[in-house]
A and B are shown apart, each in its own frame.
Chain A
Amino acid sequence: MDRIRTFVEEQFLIEFDETFPEDSNLFMEGVMDSFGYVQLCRFLEQEYEIRFTEEEMTGNVLTSLAQIKKYITAKIAAKTT
């Protein structure tokens, strides 16, 4: 999961710390843009060999690093069970 954090930090030129915690809404904080969001989705799909469905994407799943980690963990678990 650290790879996701590193990707987000490099992609959006930010550093998560106490002033910018992992549950910050990346849209509202002005971190995420359209191209970056698409790149993030591609990265997650490739890195974890998963596929997002259109239904999932309209369900507010990828708005903060904390949410992304939680969602990916669940998605991987679902894949292996």
Chain B
Amino acid sequence: MCGIAGLVNPDQPVDHLPETVSGMLMAIGHRGPDGLGYVLEDRFAMGAVRLAILDPQAGIQPLSDPSGRYWLCYNGEIYNYRELRSELEAAGSVFQTRCDTEVVLQAWLAWGSNCLSRFNGGFAFALYDRHEQRLVLARDRYGKRPLFYTRHGNTLLFASEMKAFLAVPGFSFEQAPEQLAAIYAQWTPLPEQTGFKGIKNLPVGAWLTFQNGIVEQHTYYRLNFESNIQLQSEEEALERIRETLSQSVSLRLRSDVEVGTYLSGGVDSAIISSLANTLSPHTLSTFSVAFEDKEFDESIEQRLVAEQLGSRHYVQTISHSDIVESCPDAVYHAEVPAFRSAFIPMFLLSKRTREAGIKVVLSGEGADEAFLGYDLFKETMLRGAWADLTNAEKSTRLKQLYPHLAHYGDQDNAAMMGLYQQFSTEHMPGLFSHELRFQNGRFSARLIKGDHAGDPFAEISALVAGDSEFQAMSPVEKAQWLEYKTLLPGYLLSTQGERMGLAHGVENRCPFLDPQVIELAAATNLKFDDGFREKRLLREAFRGALPASVVDKRKFPYRAPDAVAFAAAPPDYLDLIRSDAELDKIPFLNRTFAKRLTEKVLNTPVGEISTKENQTFLFLLTTALLHHFFVARESGPLVLSTGVRPPVQRVVDLRIGAKD
């Protein structure tokens, strides 16, 4: 795992390139504290900061082929690199290292872009062909690793995190209100959105070329839920789930350094931890977030699992003041507005993990998307069937759906029936499954003044309308597809996932995001039950390996205290959203609404603040902080926010136009 950054076709004098590219890399130095390297010539400069996990000595980047024509900067892990390497060697490729970076380079040279669909892992890379003067950028299929790019004059800039662009002379950030409205409305950015004008994230499953000043984008992977797996019985399904997940964990334990796990208290990370414990040569280290505020705390289940595994268990207990104190740093690392505060504890957990000497962890992300863990999927099925049910059946189904939400008690069932009635037919083509969620989003989108917002759902509507495979999917599969395109890459894997982990040089790996696991899940979902007991097969597959109370625990969404944390002791930086002078610096914000909302959430008893108000407050605060850091650049030396300065390990200077 690493961070990469670079620029092609520079407008600046070649003498300035070393400073620019090393500045960009230092700005993301936290991603790769073990070393920094770059290559430059007159027409390009790029490099990597490296978190050394495989072949720590020989894996220094950037890497070239023996002729020096191709240069690769690579971020991520290809878990099946040994198998690919054997295949390449059999076909005549010669390797200098044991590192997966070289497998990526040789695979590209041998197979071209066809190599991408053969990679099983999370990756993003930049490959420059000096002969063709052509840059290739590519990204993994589920969005494990980021890759941002932008045009700056004639130059193409790219980086693992946008903060690298802060180091580019003359570059300025500007927030894009119509994108922000879309992010607020959807909860997360769409695949290309970043919230900043002109900066794009390379979509998942895509690659692009930049040559002669022209960007061409291609897609190598289209998400679908087709499966060739035939299962005759539930027993067979359970066995296949155990086998496939075990293989996936085993692949992700490939590492020259010790691998730990994040243990949330839910069943998914318990399964991963249990498998890792069995398959790992080390005593497993497990890491958990606990909360002083018991509403959010799952430490009982965490402890039960850790005790059963006999792991070295580390607990980071989070108070309200931890949320408030770390919020600005965590937002700086996240780079996009967030709808909840739950990413902030993950920033502190990765710090703790690193301090314990662990720099790779496995986690449970991706299980809910693959095995239908979210209430959203059940809601979609119920709303879809609504018109065909009697009132008694509607009432019964609703009570089954929401036993865990205190504010949806029996007395509220009638109200919930009225609500479902409103959302039982599709109003937004293709987006039926998400219309209830998007309703909260419409409220948040009101943060943007009407004349700046546009239709916040225009882009997502166009995205689904343009995907023929999506159009052919069932309502539940459409819901899955949307989760794989929005919440998973746009928040769970990024803001709450790798951006927080790598703030402190911790890489996370997700066994549930293995293509074989996802295909198997597609073959089992709704085949042996009606889906109303979420992830039933997954639970049953591992019933014997885990405490019963964890196996049978209902889905408990990982959350952290939101507005209540800030109301308890309002920090000075809340001025950014409370003072007229500060709010005026962000001209597209609806100031009246923003202030009414802020005062309401800070002065209302916690039980009376709704989800939509909490999320809107978080969107407002994180947007204002991002403006402060990236647009106004009003805080100190942010390029070194975690103080990490990786040692320079390799500089390859191929310039011929330099003066000295």
Q: Output the nearest chain B residue to A59 by Cβ-Cβ distance.
A: B421
- Decide: B596 and A36 in contact? CB cutoff 8 A: no
Interface readout for A1-31 with B: 1 if CB under 8 Å, 0 if not? 0000000000011000000000000011111
Contacts of A12 in B (CB 8 A): 443
- Decide: A57 and B414 in contact? CB cutoff 8 A: yes
- With the chains together, A58 CA to B446 CA distance in Å? 28
The answer to whether A54 and B419 touch (CB under 8 A), given A33-B439, A35-B612, is no
- Decide: A54 and B417 in contact? CB cutoff 8 A: yes
Q: Is A52 an interface residue (CB 8 A)?
A: yes
Q: Is B64 an interface residue (CB 8 A)?
A: no
- With the chains together, A63 CA to B612 CA distance in Å? 19
Contacts of A56 in B (CB 8 A): 414, 418
The prevalent SS among residues of B at the interface is: helix
Minimum C-beta distance from B291 to chain A (A)? 22
Q: Output the nearest chain B residue to A10 by Cβ-Cβ distance.
A: B600
Q: Output the nearest chain A residue to B411 by Cβ-Cβ distance.
A: A42
Contacts of A38 in B (CB 8 A): 407-408, 412, 415-416, 419
Report, as a range, how many residues of chain A touch the other chain.
20 to 34
Minimum C-beta distance from A49 to chain B (A)? 14
- Decide: A42 and B412 in contact? CB cutoff 8 A: yes
Minimum C-beta distance from A6 to chain B (A)? 14
Contacts of A13 in B (CB 8 A): 446, 593, 596-597, 600
- Decide: B610 and A58 in contact? CB cutoff 8 A: no
Contacts of A28 in B (CB 8 A): 427
- Decide: B443 and A31 in contact? CB cutoff 8 A: yes
- With the chains together, A62 CA to B443 CA distance in Å? 18
Q: Output the nearest chain B residue to A35 by Cβ-Cβ distance.
A: B610
The answer to whether A57 and B417 touch (CB under 8 A), given A30-B446, A41-B412, is yes
Interface readout for A43-81 with B: 1 if CB under 8 Å, 0 if not? 000000000111111111111000000000000000000
Which residue from B395, B411, B439 sits with its C-beta under 8 Å from A27? B439
The answer to whether A58 and B439 touch (CB under 8 A), given A13-B600, A33-B611, is no
The answer to whether A27 and B414 touch (CB under 8 A), given A33-B443, A35-B407, is no
Minimum C-beta distance from A29 to chain B (A)? 8
- Decide: A35 and B611 in contact? CB cutoff 8 A: yes
- Decide: A58 and B418 in contact? CB cutoff 8 A: yes
- With the chains together, A70 CA to B116 CA distance in Å? 61
Contacts of A27 in B (CB 8 A): 422, 439
Q: Is B442 an interface residue (CB 8 A)?
A: yes
- With the chains together, A61 CA to B419 CA distance in Å? 11
27 pairs across A/B with beta carbons < 8 Å?
A13-B600, A27-B422, A28-B427, A30-B439, A30-B443, A31-B442, A33-B440, A33-B611, A34-B436, A34-B440, A35-B612, A36-B610, A37-B415, A37-B418, A37-B419, A38-B408, A38-B412, A38-B416, A54-B391, A54-B413, A54-B414, A56-B418, A57-B414, A57-B415, A58-B394, A58-B418, A63-B422
Residues in chain A within 8 A of chain B (CB atoms): 12-13, 27-42, 52-63
